[in-house]
Structure 1
Amino acid sequence: DDQPYLAPMSLRVKYRNTTEFSLYRYLIPQLCNYQGKAIYIDSDTICFTDIGELLDTPLNGCDFLAKRAYSSEAKDLWGLSVMLIDCQKCNFDLETYYDEIEQGLYSYPDLARMSPAFLAHHNYQIGELDPLWNVFDYYDKDTNLIHYTNLYTQPWKYTNHPYGDLWFQYFNEARDCGYITQTDIDLSLVRSYVRRDLLEGNFSTMAREIASLKRAIKSVKKTSWF
């Protein structure tokens, strides 16, 4: 295996973001020596389709592809949680971005979503990614990738996500094959990355009891003569 690579990122940049990994996507072209194509995918996702198909998606002259994900006051905002990048064209200069944020030219959310305020200073040509490669908190048979993007409903942190059983299916498969160990889980608990009743699955004990009670009441109502 290759030795760990020291990320070319200052501390002021590393720790001023939503999650600790948020800004690492911008280092990809540099790590690829500004050559070829590269894929970035957030870690809070499950991919159901061969990402080779994503890599083969034509860039059509764009600097990168991303999901046209948000709309705010008729402004185009982009979901950068899945990106297909032309490494030769993209030089994401984080130090300059943070200088400009401190100067008040735009905000961190503008950078995170490549808003018009940010693009007015950095005119990246962004192409629209097939939205099935970045589906927010939803799944059906056509979904290529589900992104558990809401930080307040992610199934490893909170119970009762409508598609949490899907996450736990793959979590348990990873445990069964040894990819995730008990040591990994214990460390995640210590760091508060996951909820303490993680091993109970998508539904907490109380939620299961409530669901069982509701089923019992429903059954009684069906058989009642009153």
Structure 2
Amino acid sequence: MSLSNGKIHPANGASDEKEKPFKIFVGYDPKEDIAYQVCRHSILKRSSIPVEIIPIKQSDLRKSGLYWRERGQFESTEFSFSRFLTPCLANYQGWAMFVDCDFLYLTDIKELRDLIQDKYAIMCVQHDYAPKETTKMDGAVQTVYPRKNWSSMVLYNCGHPKNSVLTPETVNSQTGAYLHRFQWLEDDEIGSIPFVWNFLEGHNKVVENDATTKPKAIHYTRGGPWFEAWKHCEFADLWLNEMEEQ
């Protein structure tokens, strides 16, 4: 049960050729194809482990009968809800990652995978974040809710019993609050990842002489340089350099 266009990248000098690729599902929206391409490139370029990058395309999910809900007025991307199909798309086996397409990875994804702890159902950056802007990206409405941005990059323990609830039926019928706030889980089933792995452009700050604040993955959550209105955002140069490298 997988989508097309998945790309497997061999480990850079890995000794174990039998190592299973780490599955990374990336939210895809036709309006932001270039963002997906750059996100994908940034992961592959730095990865020292085998990875399989799979775009979550709503059109493919609809054709395969996995996604059928109508788009709501507050859904700023095509993957606002389809992201929660990640455990299903991974056949409820092993660990897999979901990430929005508006990320730029600056560090080997192995470092993130090595943070995994099997006792958790999911792991994510637990932001305490309330956006100042009323709109984002290309004019989409900016909504505010508890656990904002937690679901933008999630490590899923796909075989965890609690995640078996994330069936297509659940993902297509449950509320945004239930899904984005991880209401199928208890708080102690959600592991924490350092914020530098989901470094919110315009919100998180690098502290001088503090290496623990240096971003490992930049999230252009307000809008990235691929949008005219955001071409001068913070870290725009890093994204543009990556785009030109492809």
1:123 aligned residue: 185
Q: Which has the higher contact order (CA 8 A, sep 6+)?
A: 2
> What displacement does 1:132 show?
0.9
Does 2:177 match 1:113?
A: no
Query: Which structure's residues are more often helix, by fraction?
Result: 1
- Give 1:100 shift: 4.5
Amino acid at match of 2:68: L
Question: Aligned to 2:239, which of 167, 172, 187?
Answer: 167
The residue matched to 1:39 in structure 2 has which SS? strand
Residue 169 of structure 2: aligned partner: 95
Change (3 A) 1:126 1:77: farther
Report how many residues are paired: 158
User: Retained in 2: the 8 A contact 1:54–1:84?
Assistant: no
**CA 131–93 in structure 1, closer or farther in 2 if over 3 Å, else same:** same
Structure 1 residue 135, shift from structure 2 partner: 0.1
**Contact kept? 2:84, 2:179, Cα under 8 Å:** no
Structure 1 residues 83 and 169: alpha-carbon distance in aligned structure 2, compared to 1, 3 A threshold: same
Query: In structure 1, the residue corresponding to 2:218 is in which secondary structure?
Result: strand
1: CA distance, partners of 2:100 / 2:111: 17
Q: Which residue of 2 aligns with 1:145?
A: 217
- The offset of 1:21, in angstroms, is 2.2
- The one-letter code sitting in structure 1 at the alignment partner of 2:90 is C
* Aligned partner (choices 64, 87, 94) of residue 36 of structure 1: 94
- Residue ranges of structure 1 left out of the alignment (5+ in a row): 102-107, 175-226
TM-score by length of 1: 0.59
Letter in 2 for 1:11: W
Which of 1 and 2 has greater Rg?
A: 1
Contact 1:70–1:79 at 8 Å: present in 2 too? no
d(CA) in 2 for partners of 1:60, 1:40? 17
- Alignment partners' CA distance in 2, 1:144 and 1:79: 16
Give the equivalent residue in structure 2 for 1:178: none
- Give identity over the alignment, percent: 27
- TM-score normalized with structure 2 length: 0.55
CA 3–95 in structure 1, closer or farther in 2 if over 3 Å, else same: closer
Q: Does 1:81 align with 2:81?
A: no
Q: Deviations over 1:103-124 (max 9, x none)?
A: xxxxx2x24531xxx62xx225
Q: Secondary structure at the match of 2:151?
A: strand
Root mean square deviation, CA, Å: 3.0
Separation (CA, whole Å) in 2 of partners of 1:57 and 1:18: 30
